[in-house]
Amino acid sequence: MDLSLIIALDVVNGASSLFLLCLGLAIIFGMMKIINLAHGEFVMLGAYATVISANAGLNIWIAMLVVAPLSVGLVGLVIERCLIRFLYGRLVDSMLATWGLSLCLIGLVTTIFGNTINGVPTPLGGFQLGAYRSSWYTIFLLAMAVLMMALVYGVLRFTRFGLVARAVMLNPGMAATLGVNPAKVYMATFGIGAAVTGLAGGLLAPVSGITPVMGTAFVAKCFITVVGGGAAIISGTLSAAGLFGFVNQLGAFLTTPVYGEVILFLSAILLIRLLPQGISGRFFKGTL
C-alpha cells in the first residue's frame, strides 16, 4: 500500500516536472511554430539565475519564483528582438539559428561561471509515508504544475491579451487588419514562453546538478512531449506529459532506468505513428 502510494507520487512527480519543462516550449512552438532548440539552455539559464541569486543570499523562494522567470523572460525578449523575429515562418532556418544560439549560450555561461557543477540545497525536507520516505518538494512541484496550468489557461482564455494572441496565431494577416500589431504579440509571447521555461529551470534547480550543458538532457524529451501533445497548448502538453511521465517513471521502477528511457521513446514513436497530429489533434480538438 505504502509502496504503491510512493510510486504514484514518483509518477506524478515525473509528469509534473515534464509538464513544467514543456509548457514554455509548447507556448513558443505551439503558438508561433518556432522550433526553439535553445529551449534546454533557457532551462539552464533559469537554474543558474536561481543558484546565483540564492547563493548570493537571496531567499530561495524569491530566487526560484521571481528571479528565474524574470531574468530568462528578459533574455527571451532580447533574443526575440535580435534573432527570432527574422525567422518567423522559416522553420528550418529557425532550427539552425536556435541551435547556434544554444551553443552560444552554453559557451557564454561556461566562460562566465566555469564548467563545474553548481547547485542549491532542496528546501522543505522529507516526510514519512509508512515505511517509505519522500520529499515535500515533490508535492510542491505538483502544486506549481497545477498553478501554472491554471495561470496559462486563464490568461489565454479570459484576458484580452490571450484573445489577441490566439487570434494572431490563427491568422496574423487578419489580426493585423483589425489593428493588432503581430510583431508585438510575437515578442510578448516569446518572452512569456522564455519566462515560463526559466521558471521551470528555477523550480528544478534544487533537485538537479547544474552545469552549462544540463539543458541537453531535457531538450529531446521536451520536444517529444510537445509534438506528442499536438497543437493544443494546455490539454496537449498536459496529456502528453502525463502519459510520458507515467510510462518513464513506472518503466524505470519496474525495470531499470535504462529501459525507462527506452520505453519512453518507444511509446513516443508509437504515439506519433498512431496519432500523427498528436494527442490533442484527435481527442481534445478545439481546446486550449
Partner 1 sequence: MALSRRDLLRTAAAVPLSTLAMPALLRSARGETPILVGSLHDQSGPIAASGTPMVESLKLGIAEVNAAGGLLGRPLQLVHYDTQSNIQMYSQYAQQLAVRDKVAVVHGGITSASREAIRPTFNRFRVLYFYNVLYEGGVCDRNTFCTGTTPAQTVEKLVPYAMTKGAKPAKKVYIIAADYNYGQITAKWMQKYVKDQGGETVAVDFFPLDVTNFGPTISKIQSVKPDLLLSALVGGNHTAFYRQWTSAGMKDQIPIASTTFGLVNEPTTLNAAESDGILGAYGYFEELTTPASTAYVAKLKKQSPGIPYISELAAGTYEGFYLWVEGVKKAGSIDRMAVTEALETGLSFDGPTGKVTVDHATHHVTRNAYLAAVKDRKWAVRETYPDAKPQDTAAVCNLIKNPRDNKQYEISI
Task: Using alpha carbons, list the distances in angstroms from residue 24 to 18, 76, 141.
Answer: 11, 11, 16
Select 214 or 279, whichever has its Cβ closest to partner 1: 214
- Under the criterion CB under 8 A, does residue 20 sit at the interface with partner 1? no
Does 119 contact partner 1 by CB under 8 A?
yes
Task: Determine which residue in the list 57, 125, 179, 286 makes contact with partner 1, applying CB under 8 A.
Answer: 125
Contacts of partner 1 in 267-286 (CB under 8 A): none
How far is 9 from 136, CA to CA, in rounded Å?
11
Q: Does 253 bind partner 1 (CB under 8 A)?
A: yes
AA letter at 53: S
* Binding segment toward partner 1, per CB under 8 A, in 162-170, 215-223, 236-244, 273-281: 215-223
Q: Is 215 in the site for partner 1 (CB under 8 A)?
A: no
Instruction: State the DSSP H helix or E strand holding residue 9, giving kind and residue range, or none if neither.
Output: helix 2-25
Can you tell me which of 126, 151, 155, 282 binds partner 1, judged by CB under 8 A? Answer: 126
Check if the beta carbon of residue 237 is closer than 8 Å to that of residue 279: no
Which 8-state DSSP code applies to residue 121?
A: P
Q: Is 249 in the site for partner 1 (CB under 8 A)?
A: yes
Nearer to partner 1, 78 or 143 (CB): 143
**In contact, 215 and 45? CB cutoff 8 Å:** no
| Stretch of residues binding partner 1 (CB under 8 A), selected from 6-14, 169-177, 178-186, 236-244 | 6-14
Is residue 57 a contact point for partner 1 (CB under 8 A)?
A: no
Backbone angles phi, psi at 252, to 5 degrees: -65, -35
Question: What is the length of the chain?
Answer: 288
**Nearest distance, CB of residue 3 and partner 1, angstroms:** 6
Question: Min. distance of Cβ 236 from partner 1 in angstroms?
Answer: 22
Cβ-Cβ contacts under 8 Å for 37 (sequence gap 6 or more): 95, 98, 99, 101, 102, 219
**Cβ 76 vs Cβ 194: under 8 Å:** yes
Alpha-carbon distance 143 to 10, whole Å? Answer: 14
CB of 251 to partner 1, least distance (A): 8
Chain residues in the site for partner 1 (CB under 8 A): 3, 6-7, 9-10, 13-14, 17, 107, 110, 114-119, 121-122, 124-128, 131-135, 137-138, 204, 206-211, 213-214, 216-218, 249-250, 252-253, 256-258, 260-261
